[in-house]
């Protein structure tokens, strides 16, 4: 069974530029999560989708971050404009449904300079 796929693996951008990350969850998984993990900290939930609907986006900085999950499968997370403090690893995870174990992709390491 293929795992959660993310791209790109690494990205370096200048502050005020925009960037987008892509995630393809495990086939059949209805729930998709985007997490931000700053070095030395635990993953912070940014947004959670159930199929193509948003369950929770309370910690998503909506003035600069946006995410979508069209057709309830792939998802993209966008940052525009980026700030230095956005430097982190962005992790995508999926689960069969809410309340079950989540599986993570390899993450995208973003560096904002």
- Among the residue ranges 8-16, 21-29, 33-41, 71-79, the one whose residues contact other proteins (CB under 8 A): 33-41
- Give, in order, the Cα–Cα distances in Å from 83 to each of 27, 45, 68, 97, 112: 33, 19, 21, 33, 7
Return d(Cα 26, Cα 40) in angstroms, integer: 27
Task: Look up residue 9 and give its two tokens.
Answer: 């693996």
- Among the residue ranges 7-15, 20-28, 37-45, 69-77, the one whose residues contact other proteins (CB under 8 A): 37-45
Looking at the Cβ atoms of 27 and 58, the one nearer to other proteins is 58
Per CB under 8 A, residues contacting other proteins are: 33, 35, 41-45, 48, 50, 55-56, 91, 93, 95, 98-107
């Amino acid at each position: 069974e293929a795992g959660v796929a993310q791209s790109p693996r690494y990205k370096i951008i200048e502050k005020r530029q925009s960037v987008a990350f892509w995630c393809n969850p495990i086939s059949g998984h209805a729930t998709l999560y985007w997490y931000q993990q700053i070095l030395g900290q635990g993953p912070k939930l940014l947004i959670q989708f159930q199929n193509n609907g948003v369950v929770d986006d309370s910690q998503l900085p909506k003035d600069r971050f946006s995410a979508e999950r069209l057709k309830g499968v792939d998802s993209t997370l966008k940052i525009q404009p980026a700030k230095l403090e956005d430097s982190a690893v962005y992790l995508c995870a999926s689960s069969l449904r809410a309340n079950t174990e989540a599986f993570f992709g390899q993450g995208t390491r973003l560096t904002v300079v």
